[in-house]
Amino acid sequence: LFESVELAPRDPILGLNEQYNADARTGKVNLGVGVYYDDQGRLPLLESVSKAETARIEAHAARGYLPMEGIAGYNKGAQTLLFGADSPIISSGRALTAQALGGTGALKIGADFLKALLPNAKVVISNPSWENHRALFERAGFPVETYAYYDAATHGLDFPGMLASLRALPAQTIVILHACCHNPTGVDPTFEQWQEIVQIVKENKLVPFLDIAYQGFGDGLEEDASVVRLFAQQDLTMLVSSSFSKSFSLYGERVGALTLVTSSKDESVRVLSQLKRIIRTNYSNPPTHGGTVVSTVLNTPELYTLWTTELAGMRERIRTMRVQLVEKLKAHGVTQNFDFVLDQRGMFSYSGLTSQQVDRLRDEHAIYAVSSGRICVAALNSRNIDYVAKAIASVLTA
């Protein structure tokens, strides 16, 4: 039966983890996957999370099945983070949310739902985008194309190109947009630019699918939701995939959410009934632990405040690493201007390194990065940053 099965290529991001884990060299550095490490190079367990977990364990809670759409308080918390506590989108019943297996799981439920609804539509993703966007939507049966986004010459946004691409799309094209902290480039449109983007989405009757996996890592929880709120204010129907993997440092718990904004409460009821069928036939219902922890933090004022402080700490540390990386590259003799790293938002920097230079970083220095040149700034720390800057300098200059 399996004789004809071919060996699949490694995943461009998670495959790096496999290679990194198998690397026996000491001092190795993993700048591949988007994971935040603290200044000691450890994956943090947030205190807010730890307190919520302790409370859960002490409660000796039984582990029954969750509803197919997950925990009500979790879903409400996800909506509040997206739209704000007083949003009419929420009070009118126009938003519906299903707890999902990470941001990826949310994208997949959304993709499967859209495929049934719009079987002939195409999906467009930014050029470049998160590697898994293309694979995920293609696997859901969509043709996937790109819209102009990044300008390598300026290390910034190709805004005219982006607008021209979006304007040329036929109605009902599904447009995947990174609501903040663009992955992989770290380059986001300004709010004024988003206002133009949303107008085209509206006029051309495109289907916006906002991906927000790094809320809180840009400028703050509220600030990073401004694009979602802008779209919601336009009376657009849309989809939003959220991830709490990074913001709660709960990667392995698969804590995400799919939120849809519909035209009415009645529509929301019907849409949710369809999402539940997709969930039921995929994994039945989501797991309890991570969802309960996130829900507890989001719905307990003291824990929520503690969490926002911890999130701000992660955000600030990444900023400091950006500043230090630029300084240290200069100190190690790099003459190219790397100031663009300071303007990038979120965990990543699209460094401009070529895939050959990335290969050399790995082979000669045991430093792992994505072949596109994306590096995870959140994995730099005061112990490894000098080593990394020196290694980057050596592959740039030699």
Question: Which residues lie near ligand LMR (CB under 6 A)?
Answer: 13, 33-34, 130, 132, 183, 213
Minimum distance from residue 254 beta carbon to ligand LMR (Å): 11
What sign for the dihedral angle of Cα 114, 159, 201, 221?
positive
> Distance between CA 242 and CA 263 in Å, rounded?
21
Nearer to ligand LMR by C-beta: 33 or 210?
Answer: 33
Which residues, 6+ apart, have CB-to-CB distance to 122 below 8 Å? Answer: 142, 143, 144, 145, 173, 174
Nearer to ligand LMR by C-beta: 177 or 393?
Answer: 177
Query: What phi, psi does 126 have (nearest 5°)?
Result: -70, 155
Beta strand ranges found along 51-163 (DSSP E): 95-101, 123-127, 144-148, 150-151, 156-157
Nearer to ligand LMR by C-beta: 70 or 186?
Answer: 186
What sign for the dihedral angle of Cα 267, 270, 272, 275?
negative
Nearer to ligand LMR by C-beta: 37 or 130?
Answer: 130
Minimum distance from residue 57 beta carbon to ligand LMR (Å): 28
Catalytic sites, residue numbers: 130, 211, 246
Minimum distance from residue 34 beta carbon to ligand LMR (Å): 3
> Distance between CA 112 and CA 104 in Å, rounded?
12
Minimum distance from residue 139 beta carbon to ligand LMR (Å): 15
Which residues, 6+ apart, have CB-to-CB distance to 372 below 8 Å? Answer: 128, 131, 184, 350, 355
Nearer to ligand LMR by C-beta: 247 or 268?
Answer: 247
Minimum distance from residue 19 beta carbon to ligand LMR (Å): 14
> Distance between CA 126 and CA 182 in Å, rounded?
9
Q: By C-alpha distance, which of 270, 211, 210, 201 is closest to 235?
A: 201
Q: Tokens at residue 176, please? A: 């995947």
Query: What phi, psi does 96 have (nearest 5°)?
Result: -135, 145
